Chains A and B, each alone.
Chain A
Amino acid sequence: MGPVPAKRIKTLSVARPIIHGNSAKKMGDVKPPNAPVEHTHIWTIFVKGPNGEDLSDIIKSVVFKLHETYPNPVRTVDAPPFELTETGWGEFEINVKIHFVEAAGEKPISFYHHLRLHEYRNPLATNGATGGNIVSTKNADVESIFYDEVVFNEPNEDFFKVLIAKPGYLLPSNKSDKVIFSKQLEREEIDRIKIGIGKVDEETEVLRKKLAKLTKS
C-alpha cells in the first residue's frame, strides 16, 4: 500500500453540497451524425456544486455506468466538468460512482440516478415537494436534479486542510430561476416537516387519550 494513512480528526465532519441529475432534450431532425436512428433524445448527466462549481478539489473522477446496450457502458470522467452527454431513446438507472481525490483516502461512494427523458408530475407531490426531484421545462425539455450532501465524517488531517481551504458550503439565500436549491428552500422544507411533526403530535395525543380511556374501562 501507499503512505501511512494520516490521522483522522475524531468527532468532526465536513459536509459538501452536491447536485446530481440529468437534463434531456428531444432531438428534432437535426441529429448528431453518429447517433443511431432510433435515438430520440439527447441527454446530459452531471455531478456538480449547487452553484455550478466543478468540485474538482474533492472529486478525482466520476464513473457513469450506463445501460449495457451502450458501447463501452462504463464511462469514466476524470476531469471537470463531471458530466456526460449521450443520446438515447429510453430511461434507465445510471450507476454513478464518485471517486475522491487521493488526499482524502476515502472509498468511492456510489448511487443510482434514474435517467429521466419524459416529463411527468407526481399528482400527490404538490407544492414543489417532488421527492427531491425537480422537473422543470425552462432550460431543457426535461430536468431531473437531486440535491445531496457528501459528508466526510472524521476526515484525515491532510484532507481537512483541503476542505477548509475554501468555503464549500455556500448556498444562495433565495430561490431564483437559475438556482433552485437555496437556504430559502431549506427553510421552507424544514417548516413543512415541522408542520408534519405537529400533525403527527396531534394524532398521537388523540391516540393517547383513547388508550387511557380503553385501559380504564
Chain B
Amino acid sequence: MSSSDIFDVLNIQNRRAGSPGSSGLTPVPSRTPKPQVSGMQRELYNLLGDNTPPIAVQKGSKFKDKMRTMAKPSPWSFAEFEPRQAVKLRHWVKGSKELVEQQPQGSAFEKYNTKLTIPEFTEEEYNSFMGEKDETKDALQKWNFQDIKQLFDTCKKYDMRWFIIQDRLNLEGEHTLEDLKELFYLVCRYYFLAKNPDNPLIESLSFSREKEVERKKYLQRLLSRSAAEIAEEEALIVESKKFEMAAKKTSSERESLLRLLDSPNSDKPIAQFLTSQGMAQLYNGLLSDKTKKRKHEQTVPENPWMKQQQQFAQQKQQMQQLQEQKIVTNNNIPNDQNQIKKTKKQKQEMQIAVKRKADSEYAEQLLQGFTLEERKSLGVQTHGEKLPSGVYLRSSRISTFKAATQTKIAATLQELELPSRPAMPTYQVVHNHEILLARINSMLDLKRQVDKLEAEKDVKK
C-alpha cells in the first residue's frame, strides 16, 4: 500500500501522478517552464529549488545633484594687454575690470621669452681674435667675414634652430648642417678664448664633425632596416642569450661536479679544468691520488671493452689453431708424432711455416711458365714472407725510426751524400737502403754506448 492509494481513498488529487515510482519524500521540481540549463548552473538551480528570487532591478541612471552653493561667482574680465610694443591683444583675466586695469599690462609669459647670448663682433674684432689661427683650420679658408656675420645673425634670429638656419642662409654653394655647426662652434671657441680664456665652458664648444656624420649614418642605417633584418637581429640576440645561459649552466654544473669529486684543488680556480682535456687530466690526477692514499685499491678500474676484446682475440686464435691443425694433419702426417713433443709455441710456428710453404708452392706453381727474365719484366716476385696483403707504394714502406733517431739517421745520410728517399725506390734499391739504415742505426747505438762509457770514464778521473 502506497501513499497514492491513500490519496485515492481520501479522494485527494494526486499532484505527483505523473511520476510513478518516485518516493514521496523527495520534492519534485515543478513543471513550470524553466530555462534549459546544464552543468554548474543546473546544480545551482537544484539547490535553490523552486523559490528562485527575482532579479533585483536597479533604478535607472541618476544625474549629478544640482549645485547648491551660495558663494558669489568671482569676476573675470576681458582685459587688454601689450606683449610687446605696437601689439595689442585681449585675454580673460580673473578679477573685476577695475582691479585688472590697475595692474601692469604685460604678458605673464614675458619672462619665458629669453634670447640666447650669441656673440657679436665687428670685422676688426673678428680679425683680431681669428687672425693668427686662420691657417689652422681648412674649414675657415673659404669663409669671409660677411658670411660668418650672416651665419651668426641667422643663428641669433632663429635661436640656433639649425634646420631653419640652413634653410634661410643665403650663401654661395652648398653647405651641410655639419659644415655650419663646425664653423659656428669654431668661431665661438676662438671668440671666447680671446674674451675670457678661463671660462670652463670653452671646452664644451668643441664640435666633432666626423662623429656627427658617423652618428647620423648610424641612425640612418638603424632606421632603414627591413622588417626581416630586425627579426633576424632579434633572433640572433635570443640565440646568443641561449648560448650564454647554456655556458653558464655547464660551468656551474662543472663547478658543482668538481666540488663533489672532493678535488684537492677545489680551492683553486676551475678555469683550467673547463676544457675536456682539463677534465681528463683532473680525472687522472684524482685517480693517481686515490691509489696513493689507499694502497689496497691499486688496480685501476678495468676497461670492460678491453677485456672483451682480449677474450675475442683469444677465441679467434683458438679457432685459427684448430683450422691450421686440420691443414697440417692433411699435409704432413709423418711429422705428427714429433709435433706432440714440441711446446705449444714451437708448434704454432711450425704450422705457420708449413702453411706459408704451401702458399709459396702455389705461387711458384703459377709462375712456373715464366723465366727469371720474364718475371723481372712483369715485376712479379714470390717473397715467401708474411706481409699484409694490399697495394702500397714502395717508397712508403721505407723504415722509420723514433723521432730522435730519425733525425740522427737523416744527418748521417746527408754526411754520406745520400738522399733520405732513394731516387729510384726499386726492390733492389730499397732492399739495400734498408740494410744501410739498419747499419746506421746499429752504428748510432754503438756510438751512444761509447759516448756513455767515455763520459763515465771522465767522471771517474
Check: B107 CB closer than 8 A to any chain A CB: no
Check: B194 CB closer than 8 A to any chain A CB: no
CB distance from A20 to the nearest CB of B (A): 10
Q: Are B359 and A17 interface neighbours, CB within 8 A?
A: no
Residues of B within 8 A of A (CB): 356, 359-360, 362-363, 366-367, 370, 374, 376-397, 412-414, 416-429, 432-433, 435-436, 439-440, 442-443, 446-447, 449-450, 453-454, 457
Interface of B, secondary structure class, is helix
Q: Are A167 and B377 interface neighbours, CB within 8 A?
A: yes
Selected contact of A11 from candidates B360, B435, B443, CB within 8 Å: B360
Check: A29 CB closer than 8 A to any chain B CB: no
14 of the cross-chain contacts (CB-CB < 8 Å) are A12-B381, A15-B394, A126-B417, A132-B421, A153-B390, A163-B379, A163-B380, A189-B423, A190-B428, A193-B436, A199-B416, A200-B416, A204-B446, A208-B446
Q: Are B363 and A106 interface neighbours, CB within 8 A?
A: no
> Which residues of chain A come closer than 8 Å to B390, judged between CB atoms?
106-107, 153-154
> Which residues of chain A come closer than 8 Å to B383, judged between CB atoms?
11-13
Q: Are B457 and A214 interface neighbours, CB within 8 A?
A: yes
Q: Are B416 and A9 interface neighbours, CB within 8 A?
A: no
**Cβ-closest chain B residue relative to A156:** B389
Selected contact of B446 from candidates A106, A126, A133, A207, CB within 8 Å: A207
Q: Are B356 and A129 interface neighbours, CB within 8 A?
A: no
Selected contact of A100 from candidates B374, B391, B442, CB within 8 Å: B391
**Cβ-closest chain B residue relative to A16:** B379
What total count of A-B pairs have CB within 8 Å?
191
Q: How far does the alpha carbon of A186 sit from the alpha carbon of B439 in the complex, in Å?
A: 21
The 4 lowest CB-CB distance pairs between A and B, nearest first, are A169-B379, A10-B359, A154-B389, A149-B394
Interface of A, secondary structure class, is mixed
CB within 8 Å of B: which A98-138 residues: 100, 104, 106-107, 109, 111, 124-134
Check: A148 CB closer than 8 A to any chain B CB: yes
Check: A197 CB closer than 8 A to any chain B CB: yes
Selected contact of A153 from candidates B359, B391, B412, CB within 8 Å: B391
A11/B426 contact (C-beta < 8 A), A196-B418, A211-B449 known = no
A197/B446 contact (C-beta < 8 A), A8-B389, A107-B390, A129-B419 known = no
Check: A210 CB closer than 8 A to any chain B CB: yes
> Which residues of chain A come closer than 8 Å to B359, judged between CB atoms?
10-11
Q: How far does the alpha carbon of A168 sit from the alpha carbon of B396 in the complex, in Å?
A: 21
> Which residues of chain B come closer than 8 Å to A131, judged between CB atoms?
419-421, 423
**Cβ-closest chain B residue relative to A149:** B394
Q: How far does the alpha carbon of A208 sit from the alpha carbon of B422 in the complex, in Å?
A: 29
Q: Are A200 and B439 interface neighbours, CB within 8 A?
A: yes
Q: How far does the alpha carbon of A192 sit from the alpha carbon of B422 in the complex, in Å?
A: 10
Q: Are A189 and B422 interface neighbours, CB within 8 A?
A: yes
Selected contact of B429 from candidates A133, A151, A190, A200, CB within 8 Å: A190
Q: Are A193 and B378 interface neighbours, CB within 8 A?
A: no
Residue among B413, B417, B421, B454 having the largest count of chain A Cβ atoms under 10 Å? B417
